[in-house]
Amino acid sequence: MPKIVDHEERRAHIVEAVTQIIIRDGFDRVTMREIAAEAGYAHGAIARYFPDKQSLLTAAFLQVFQHSHQRTLELVAGVRGLAALRTMSRQLLPYDTAESLRARVVLTFWDRASQDPELWEIHHENITRRRALIRRFVEEAREDGELHPGVDVEEAVNRVSAHNAGWQMIAVLVPEAAAARSLDASIEALISGLGTERA
């Protein structure tokens, strides 16, 4: 009886192999031969799912992004306003080594997306979803009387977005600066700056 292949599982396995190669060696070292060796598949099996390097990088980025986005949604269930913003930031910031390493995939994609319209659209679509979630929390904070009256909602969305993206970059490029205590202090300063109790 022929073996039944779970194509989604195989695709996910290939994407994880690509992610590990990017983390370990950088995107320029990603080749079909390297992926096949990492994943334990025949060379031809990779091309069946991903025709080129761009599709591989896109899949790796989306896997990292969607995992963090889904985990955020799970963690903020039943949480509102500034508490939800704090929870989201703690999830997105690179507190552990694994998340810090996965931030390399995000930075690699940012670099390519800044130069490629197709990748830019993919990134824009996904980051717009995240910004909408931040906006929801900021608006909840306003409804609940938590938001300082001088804080503009869109400015707050930009502030939170830049804060979280900035720490992803720092974790990759200046890892010694991204200690847990520094992340904690940065999140608390961010939340305090938005709240009614700010100095």
pLDDT at 199: 36
Inter-residue contact 168 to 106 (CB < 8 Å) = yes
pLDDT at 197 over 80: no
pLDDT band at residue 72 under the 50/70/90 scheme:
very high
Residue 1 has pLDDT above 50, yes or no: no
Q: What is the pLDDT of residue 3?
A: 54
Residue 45 sits in the same domain as residue 57: no
Going from the C-alpha of 196 to that of each of 12, 82, 88, 140, 141, the distances in angstroms are: 45, 11, 20, 14, 10
Q: Same domain for 105 and 7? A: no
Same domain, 152 and 99: yes
Segment 35-44 mean pLDDT: 82
Decide if 144 is inside a domain.
yes
**Where does a domain end: 51, 69, 85?**
51
Chain centroid to CA 15: 15
For residue 97, give both structure tokens. Answer: 């080594």
Mean pLDDT of the region 149-170: 96
The alpha helices in 76-152, defined as continuous H runs, are: 81-92, 97-113, 117-143
DSSP string for residues in 6-32:
-HHHHHHHHHHHHHHHHHHH-GGG--H
Same domain, 123 and 190: yes
Q: Is residue 35 located within the same domain as residue 64?
A: no
What is the secondary structure of 90-101 as a DSSP string? HHHS--SHHHHH
With beta carbons less than 8 A apart as the criterion, state whether 170 and 177 touch: yes
Residue 80: pLDDT band (50, 70, 90) is: very high
* 143 and 159 both lie in a single domain: yes
Domain hosting 63: range is 53-194
The CATH number assigned to the domain holding 140 equals 1.10.357.10
Across 4-18, 56-70, 137-151, which has the greatest mean pLDDT? Answer: 137-151
| 158, 109: one domain | yes
Which CATH number characterizes residue 18's domain? 1.10.10.60
For residue range 8-23, what is the model confidence (pLDDT) as tens digits? Answer: 888 888 888 888 888 8
Instruction: Name the pTM for this structure.
Output: 0.86
pLDDT of the residue at 5: 59
For residues 35 and 62, membership in a common domain is answered with no
Same domain, 79 and 172: yes
The answer to whether the beta carbons of residues 172 and 153 sit under 8 Å apart is: no
Q: 122 in a domain, yes or no?
A: yes
**Residue in the block written with tokens 């700010």:** 198
Identify whether the C-beta of residue 38 lies closer than 8 Å to the C-beta of residue 20. Answer: yes
Within a domain: 78: yes
Q: Residue 13: its pLDDT value, please?
A: 87
* Averaged confidence pLDDT in the chain: 89
5 and 62 fall within a common domain: no
Task: Work out the average pLDDT over 108-131.
Answer: 94
Please tell me which residue, 127 or 25, carries the higher pLDDT value. 127
